[in-house]
Chains A and B, each alone.
Chain A
């Protein structure tokens, strides 16, 4: 076979790859442009204008962004979701990791049943989960009044200004821990088991194996679920929005940046400023995730 022939064949292969590669990825590309790129570009364009009754729509450049980053309501909402992230992500992932490690080290029926049952809340829509917890937190409908009465006490008011933070953290933990646990558990199952065998022979305890061998081996999955839960928490919306119906005084309509954007668009009819808030939130989330991925670069399976 001559070299000329090979290169001609390769060239033909390359142009075929071009044609079919684009053919198969084109539908995705179209949907991507129409429902991601266009809305984002358009929202950015809209955010550059300001509408007033008197002058109509006027180009104001980045003025809306200057306003957003000095708007106490937006900054407060942003601060809230950052605090939620700092509290919720470690709780969820810590619990998910512990449970995955425990289930992985046990081969009992209880362990496999737990794996399924912990995952159950994921199959329940977030809205329904939030509705349920709204009932359960309530003094009249929930079980806590009678449970606390057994000890002669009053239950804490979960839906008050003081209780709402814990109430929301608990809801999210309940809903998502099982999902993250399943991802981490699947990663644990992929580790070759003879690795632990030799550690065991060297006299390592199960706890040492879990901390020193298993956890580092699944660090790429840990980074991935951390990014998922980081992005999820920063765009906090559904849970506080639904719980607001039960806890009107504890959750203001602009509690999180997303709720603020929704309220601006629908309650105050400020479309331009609403687009600004959405765009600013998206940008901040991307920045946070990029920073996190840079910091954990080596472990991340999503990075380069």
Chain B
């Protein structure tokens, strides 16, 4: 037995070199742009174009702190406002979407109510509707009721998460035993108490995943806020930075703020990158729930 296993390992050996090489090449590919951003964030406007170390190494003039200072004063420090807006949209929108999806997933999984199957089929169908196809219709509707250019126009549509609902249903069906809920009911707990005190603690890993995915969705949001917002004070970071990019590219006459774009982009990605690195066990488990067949 042992010998045979050894033999199997020896057969596998030649692939190792190739596999390692492939992984290393891919690490370079996926990290190169991130590294570029780290380096570019530390350069001044002129350093970006004619720095001493080339574009993949630091300039002799380390300008990160100057850039941060300039971000705080340029256009009245609107950068930090944008970052705050992004946090607000991502956190409030993500939290709302999560609460709604968790409730719905639980309802679909644990109650055989009239119309459930047709209702859930519609949810599955909605997974196929491209979210961007809704942007222009939402914009037209919002302009009818005078809600364009308010933070509600960005926040409210982000509450809708058919994928989150689907994930929560799959998770509840698989990991939340009916007997446990039944036991709580027999003990006299009402439905809401059963949900909060018995179901929610068991659903925590899936809730974390849905929350993270919803936050990322809202944080990534670009098309909708770009269309419904005109007031620069309400912009999320994504719309704000592209506006600076368009301005800097407009050429002669207009201001060029390349250093603010690179350092601003760098600072804005730090929170989410850290969250993903530290919370990896949660999103991995949640994605598994969605990927494995019911």
Contact = CB atoms under 8 A, between A and B. Distances in A.
B54 interface: yes
A265 B191 contact: no
B54 A114 contact: no
A27 interface: yes
A201 B4 contact: yes
B103 A146 contact: no
Contacts of A302: 124, 127
B40 A220 contact: no
Given A135-B40, A245-B249, A262-B227, A116 B280 contact: yes
Contacts of A38: 141
A82 interface: no
A68 interface: no
Contacts of A48: none
Given A120-B273, A235-B131, A189 B238 contact: no
A154 B113 CA distance: 67
B55 A17 contact: no
B139 A117 contact: no
B62 interface: no
B118 interface: no
Contacts of A22: 107, 113
Interface string B214-244: 0010011011000100000000011101100
B129 A282 contact: yes
B200 interface: no
B49 A278 contact: no
At the interface, is chain B mostly helix, strand, loop or mixed? helix
Contacts of B290: 183, 224
B202 interface: no
Interface stretch (A85-93, A136-144, A161-169): A136-144
A251 interface: no
B67 interface: no
Nearest to B37: A132
A245 B245 contact: yes
A125 B238 contact: yes
B265 interface: yes
Contacts of A186: 284-285, 287-288, 291-292
Contact of A183 (B126, B136, B220, B287): B287
B85 interface: no
Nearest to B190: A20
Interface size class for chain A? Answer: 35 or more
Nearest to B266: A128
At the interface, is chain A mostly helix, strand, loop or mixed? helix
A120 B34 CA distance: 9
Given A18-B114, A20-B111, A135 B22 contact: no
B183 interface: no
Contacts of B275: 123
Nearest to A186: B288
Interface stretch (A28-36, A58-66, A72-80): A28-36
Given A114-B27, A127-B222, A127-B242, A35 B156 contact: yes
Interface residues of B, number: 106
Contacts of A225: 291
Which among B137, B140, B288 has the greatest number of chain A C-beta atoms within 10 A?
B137
Contact of A31 (B40, B100, B292): B100
Which among B22, B132, B262, B292 has the greatest number of chain A C-beta atoms within 10 A?
B132
B191 to A, nearest CB: 5
A94 interface: no
Nearest to B107: A24
Interface in A273-289: 274-275, 277-279, 281-282, 285-286, 289
Contacts of B173: none
B133 A285 contact: yes
Interface of A: 14, 16-25, 27-29, 31-32, 34-36, 38-40, 42-43, 46, 98-99, 102-103, 105-106, 110-111, 113-114, 116-129, 131-136, 140-143, 146, 174, 177-178, 182-184, 186-187, 189-190, 200-201, 205-207, 218, 220-221, 224-225, 227, 231, 234-235, 237-238, 241-242, 245-246, 248, 258, 261-262, 265-266, 271, 274-275, 277-279, 281-282, 285-286, 289-290, 301-302
25 contacts: A20-B113, A21-B107, A39-B134, A39-B140, A43-B136, A110-B20, A117-B27, A118-B26, A125-B237, A128-B241, A131-B242, A135-B258, A136-B33, A146-B55, A183-B287, A184-B291, A186-B287, A220-B291, A235-B133, A245-B246, A246-B249, A266-B227, A277-B136, A278-B133, A281-B130
Given A21-B107, A128-B265, A248-B249, 6 more contacts: A18-B111, A25-B104, A32-B160, A103-B23, A238-B223, A301-B293
